Chain A
Amino acid sequence: MAERDTTTPDTPGTPETPDTADTEAVPDPAATRSGPGRLLVAVYAIFALAAGARAAVQIATKFDEAPLAYVLSAVAAVIYILATVALAMGGRTSRRIAFAALSVELAGVLIVGTLSLADSEAFPDATVWSGYGRGYGFVPLVLPIVGLWWLRRTARADR
């Protein structure tokens, strides 16, 4: 995905002139998925699977019971899938997508966690983020923090 056609001659009028600035100071795409990152992606993949399966079952079988919670389940699932793929790919754009997904994830677990405790009637059935991810050993709370730290670390290591 990160490969670029560098053989394109740099002639005037060629619309696809390679943007040289784009290839400078870009961290190695493999950095986010290598070493400890391999583990991070694995954990994200499991949460993507867990959240995705949970949302699919909830929406397919009992959506009317708690629409808000189930829509949130689906949103969480999409964010985990996005984070997994973006961390695994690790190119320049992927890092941005990963950063956005992890930020939304952190905000989500904090907001939903707080709301689920404050207004438990709106969340009769658990989402991954209910009670700050209590049902999943608080891993959903720790994961985005570790992930954001990892993104920062891998970006600096290549400079």
Chain B
Amino acid sequence: MTNALATVIIVVSLAAAAYALVTSLRNRAMGWGHLIALGVVEVLLVVQAVLGFMKLADDQGPKQPATFIGYLLAILLIPAAGAGWGMLERTRWGPGVIVVACLAVAVMIVRMNQIWTGNG
């Protein structure tokens, strides 16, 4: 797994979570800023998936790659689903959904790092 990229994804998703949390606490609905933030996270995750599969094909990574591949693909659904589900809610709970989605992405990346290095 690319450590630099993983760190970037964690930082960006935590920043997006903080941004959405502030919006939620200020009692505002989500806006374009949140969608752009989620879009950035999604693009980074797609890059990670491509690099991840290339490294796996190159025989790097965990001996049992099934769990890692599961994470690699499942994590792609989170920002997109969070954006859609959050958009439907025109209250403070919309950005609340974004907080949950971005925190989930950060936790999953940490978990993927553990699986990659065999400490999971």
Q: Which residues of A contact B (CB under 8 A)?
A: 34-39, 41-43, 45-46, 49-50, 53-54, 56-57, 60-61
CB of B94 within 8 A of CB of A61, answer no
A49 CB to closest chain B CB, in angstroms?
6
Q: Mark each residue of chain B from 77 to 103: 1 if its CB lies under 8 Å from any CB of chain A, else 0.
A: 110011001101101011011001100
**With a CB–CB cut-off of 8 A, which chain A residues contact B91?**
34-35
Asked if B119 is at the interface of the complex by the 8 Å CB criterion, the answer is no
**With a CB–CB cut-off of 8 A, which chain B residues contact A36?**
93, 96
CB of B93 within 8 A of CB of A38, answer yes
C-alpha gap A56/B66 in the complex (Å)? 10
**With a CB–CB cut-off of 8 A, which chain A residues contact B67?**
54, 57
C-alpha gap A5/B82 in the complex (Å)? 33
C-alpha gap A60/B70 in the complex (Å)? 12
Which of A35, A38, A42, A61 has the most C-beta atoms of chain B within 10 angstroms of its own C-beta?
A: A42
CB of A38 within 8 A of CB of B96, answer yes
CB of B64 within 8 A of CB of A38, answer no
CB of B82 within 8 A of CB of A57, answer no
B81, B97, B104: which contacts A38 (Cβ < 8 A)? Answer: B97
CB of A57 within 8 A of CB of B70, answer yes
| Interface size, chain B (Cβ < 8 Å) | 22
CB of A42 within 8 A of CB of B70, answer no
Q: Is the interface of A mostly helix, strand, loop or mixed?
A: helix
A39, A46, A50, A54: which contacts B93 (Cβ < 8 A)? Answer: A39
CB of B101 within 8 A of CB of A38, answer no
C-alpha gap A42/B24 in the complex (Å)? 15
C-alpha gap A38/B85 in the complex (Å)? 8
B64, B74, B96, B100: which contacts A53 (Cβ < 8 A)? Answer: B74
CB of B64 within 8 A of CB of A46, answer no
CB of B85 within 8 A of CB of A46, answer no
19 contacts between A and B (CB under 8 A): A35-B93, A38-B85, A38-B88, A38-B93, A38-B94, A38-B97, A39-B93, A39-B96, A42-B100, A45-B81, A45-B85, A46-B100, A46-B101, A49-B78, A50-B74, A54-B67, A56-B70, A57-B67, A57-B70
**With a CB–CB cut-off of 8 A, which chain A residues contact B82?**
42
B87 CB to closest chain A CB, in angstroms?
10
A39, A49, A50, A56: which contacts B100 (Cβ < 8 A)? Answer: A39
B70, B74, B100: which contacts A43 (Cβ < 8 A)? Answer: B100
